[in-house]
């Protein structure tokens, strides 16, 4: 089971949608979901990517969605992508 979220600045998502027809906010609209390809088609060139991998215990909603029992950890991957003109495209700390 995979749960996937992506965060983009609003203007980046709007440009990707305008240039490619892909709406990054609509997870079910397209079979092809390679965000980097859509970024390139919209004129954004990914220049740097970093990944942080960690584990944690899932919250009750995540356990329900993934049908896993209590006590089973989940793997978390946070990927931050930058292009040559933007600082970072990741969620602000909450």
> Domain containing 60 — which CATH number?
3.40.1410.10
- Give a yes or no: residue 17 inside a domain: yes
Which pLDDT tens digit goes with each residue over 2-56?
Answer: 777 777 788 888 888 888 888 877 767 656 667 788 888 888 888 888 899 999 9
- Give a yes or no: residue 36 inside a domain: yes
- Give a yes or no: residue 89 inside a domain: no
Q: Which pTM value belongs to this model?
A: 0.61
pLDDT for the residue 90: 55
- Give a yes or no: residue 1 inside a domain: no
Three-state SS at 38 = helix
Which pLDDT tens digit goes with each residue over 52-68?
Answer: 999 999 999 999 999 99
List the beta bridge partners of residue 29: none
Question: CB of 17 within 8 A of CB of 9?
Answer: no
What's 87's DSSP letter?
Answer: S
- Give a yes or no: residue 3 inside a domain: no
pLDDT for the residue 54: 94
Task: Pull the structure tokens for residue 28.
Answer: 């079910």
- Give a yes or no: residue 94 inside a domain: no
Number of domains forming the structure of the chain:
1
- Give a yes or no: residue 61 inside a domain: yes
- Give a yes or no: residue 18 inside a domain: yes
Determine the Cα–Cα distance for residues 41 and 44; give it in Å rounded to an integer. Answer: 7
Render the burial of 44-83: b for 16+ CB within 10 Å, e for the rest: beeeeeeeeeeeeebeeeebeeeeeeeeeebeeeeeebeb
pLDDT band at 85 (very low <50, low <70, confident <90, very high): confident
Domain range spanning residue 49? Answer: 10-83
pLDDT for the residue 29: 64
Question: CB of 86 within 8 A of CB of 54?
Answer: no
């Amino acid at each position: 089971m995979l749960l996937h979220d992506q965060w983009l600045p609003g203007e980046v998502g709007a440009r990707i949608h305008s240039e490619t027809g892909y709406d990054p906010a609509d997870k079910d609209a397209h079979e092809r979901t390679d965000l980097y390809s859509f970024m390139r088609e919209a004129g954004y060139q990914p220049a740097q990517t970093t990944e942080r991998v960690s584990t944690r215990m899932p919250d009750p909603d995540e356990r329900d969605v993934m049908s896993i029992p209590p006590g089973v950890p989940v793997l978390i991957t946070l990927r931050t992508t930058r292009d040559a003109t933007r600082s970072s495209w990741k969620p602000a700390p909450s």
